[in-house]
Structure 1
Amino acid sequence: MVVTDNTRDDYLHVDLAPSFGELNQESVKMMDDELKIMISGTLHLLAKIPPSERIPPSERTWDKVMSTMMQASLLEPSDGKVDRVDKLLKKGVNVFKFDGSPDAAIVKEVQGWFSKLISDEDVLRSTKIDINVLAKIVAQTGATIDSFETLFYKNESHEKTMVDIGILRFPDISHPYFKVYRIKLVAWSQSERILMVQNDQNGITGEFNARNFRPRKEVIQGLTEKTKQKAIEETESLWD
């Protein structure tokens, strides 16, 4: 990661990664047919959005995925909409930076902050971002801030995206709906000098967005039996 260049996309970036929960070859056959039809139709729609490429940039952005799913005839938005933003703020230069083993107090604080930001055990389990990964993000934040301090004048603000991932949580028997969510972490630094007094702040801004989608029963019921059966077979074949 080139921490001095905030125009580069060299951060942990996943356009739309799948999370299958309890689904496997046996459990998918026990799932409601309407869910199988919804899965098949949704995958066909998402496949039309060009996937990740370094050049040109991917079109599979969070906004594009959400727009596609909101307009999908086989889906309808359900409860569980979340749009949450929070900051982990520190005053002083290089507060987050550490060498060797991570500082236990900072790691614990980051862990608590991140868990509160997400506030969803299912997401935390399925995403599998552990504290060691977060500790590295915090360490990189320190390097970012250090570079800002040595390369730029005061009275400026700078930021760099560290993590931006989108997850499509597949329906299963325990969770009969699609859950689409996004986690974004941005490192930032703000410095200002008034006369002889200097104020430095740096931190991490976290964004968590989530939306649930269930089958639109009236549309699915209006499909032909042939279309329904083909969609069911397509979904079941994903785990063959």
Structure 2
Amino acid sequence: MKVQAIILFFFAIAYCYASVSDMVSMIPDGPAGSRLAKAKTGLQTAGMIIGEARAMWSRNTAEDIVKTKQIPYHCTLAASYSNLTSEVIRAMDQELQIMIAGTNKLMKKMRDNNKDGNITFNEYVATMTQNQFVTSDDTEDVVRSSSKSFGQFRLATNSIDQEIVDAVALWFANDLIKDADILAATRIDIVDFANIVGLTGATVDSLESLIVKNDYAERSVVDVGVIRYPDADHPYFKLFRIQLFAYRKSNRVLFVQKDASGIRGLYQSKVFRPNPTILGKLRADVRERAMKAAQDMFAPESFF
């Protein structure tokens, strides 16, 4: 137990970008070895990203965050491991195990070659599309946009209206995402929707000066990309991105000006399944090594 605690502590220091206070706020995401898996994929988990955003909120007001121009809920790509463990992976179909190992290696190489971390979501999509171990299932592609309008006087207030928070949560789940698996993978809950609504209100207020010259202005408040790992119920990778924007628009009819504000969302996802053509040609020893690598992704490195 002590050895395991030391190992986890070492990786928390060596591979996590968040401060100690951020780490306390992080949300469990998948197996206990998720931080160890980060060392092998180069990716933080969705839970880590949401935890960091919450930590930022605990130290700042919405107005402060708007001034920094930062997007609290932001990551070009995070990992969601769901209920994966070494045992769960070991029980999977061999093709799935090899697909996981090959993708892990590809992600790690991509991150190592871009130490500054300046990799866009579209570049991740392009890399997965070129991944020889998977094939893109274009029939599962989703690109969806939706907007939720609110009266400016309700959003741009210091206190957050729970009715608005609940309405945004319902809109997010039922109109924008429409996928229970994705909702679970994002790790976003009602606490985060309250933060998002608060930031939307502060952002709408800050856009007032831009409306003088333009009829429409917006700013990003959420931009998160996630790669959802396969499991027994979902035997495929799902790569998705969620973007939310606070907007403010002005409609002029004759001499009357009417302002409106709200939140606009864009959701896109793509599914990648095992590529039987390539996987079926692998030598037995290569298959065994790949399967072992997948099974060990949540285990400490051997040099410990």
Indicate the TM-score class for this superposition, using the shorter chain for normalisation.
0.7 to 0.9
Which of the numbers 79, 82, 89 marks the counterpart of 2:142? 82
- Per-residue CA deviations over 1:74-121 (Å, capped at 9, x if unaligned) read 10122422111111123x534323333x31321221111101211111
Unpaired runs of at least 5, structure 2: 1-63, 300-304
* 5+ long unaligned stretches in structure 1: none
The answer to whether structure 1 residue 180 and structure 2 residue 243 are counterparts is no
What amino acid is aligned across from residue 141 of structure 2 in structure 1?
K
Q: CA deviation at 1:9?
A: 4.3
Between Structure 1 and Structure 2, the one with more helix by share is: 2
| Structure with larger RCO (C-alpha < 8 A, sep 6+) | 1
Query: Are the aligned partners of 1:94 and 1:146 in contact in 2 as well (CA < 8 Å)?
Result: no
Which one of the candidate residues 13, 17, 22 is aligned to 2:78? 17
Q: CA deviation at 1:12?
A: 1.8
> Contact between 1:154 and 1:193, CA under 8 Å: does it hold in 2?
no
TM-score by length of 1: 0.87
Spell out the pairing of 1:112-191 with structure 2 (5 A cutoff). Answer: 112-116=170-174, 117-149=176-208, 153=212, 155-191=214-250
Report the identity percentage. Answer: 36
Is the 2:204–2:247 contact (alpha carbons within 8 Å) kept by the matching residues of 1? yes
Matched, 1:109 2:167: yes
**Residues 2/151 of structure 1: CA separation in 2 closer, same or farther (3 Å cut):** farther
Q: Report how far residue 4 of structure 1 moved.
A: 5.3
2:262 — aligned with what?
203
- Any conservation in 2 of the 1:97–1:138 contact (CA below 8 Å)? no
- Which amino acid letter does the alignment assign opposite residue 161 of structure 1? S
CA displacement at 1:195 relative to structure 2 = 5.2
2:110 pairs with 1:49: yes
Q: What CA deviation, in whole Å up to 9, does each residue of 1:2-46 have, x standing for no partner?
A: 4257xx444321121111122112111101111111011112222
2:293 maps to which residue? 234
**Residue 41 of structure 1 aligns to which amino acid in structure 2?**
G
Is the 2:71–2:222 contact (alpha carbons within 8 Å) kept by the matching residues of 1? no
Aligned pair in 2 of structure 1 residues 10, 113: CA closer, same or farther (>3 Å)?
Answer: closer
Q: Counting strand residues as a fraction of each chain, which structure ranks higher?
A: 1
Correspondence for 1:33? 94
In 2, Cα distance between equivalents of 1:215 and 1:146? 48
Q: What is the letter of the counterpart of residue 97 of structure 2?
A: K
CA deviation digits over 1:111-162, x for unaligned, max 9?
Answer: 1110121111111112121122112111111111112225762544221111
Contact 2:210–2:217 under 8 Å retained in 1: no
Q: Does 1:3 align with 2:75?
A: no
Paired AA for residue 129 in structure 1: I
Relative distance call for 1:77 and 1:129 in structure 2 (3 A) is same
Paired positions, count: 233
In the alignment, structure 1 residue 214 sits paired with structure 2 residue 273: yes
Shift of 1:50: 3.6
Of the structure 1 ranges 153-162 and 78-87, higher mean CA displacement relative to structure 2 is found in 153-162
